[in-house]
Amino acid sequence: MAARKPKSDTYNQIIEGSKELFYNYGYKKTRYKDICNVVDISPGTLHYFFKKKELIAAVILDDIAKDLHKIIYGLNRIHSNLRYLFILEYI
pLDDT tens digit sequence for 4-54: 445 789 999 999 999 999 999 999 999 999 999 999 999 999 999 999 999
Asked whether 18 and 35 are in contact (CB, 8 A), the reply is yes
Closest CA to 44 of 33, 60, 29: 33
Residue 4's pLDDT is what?
44
Closest CA to 27 of 68, 67, 49, 59: 59
Q: How confident is the model at residue 77 (pLDDT cuts 50, 70, 90)?
A: confident
Kind and range of the H or E element at 15?
helix 9-25
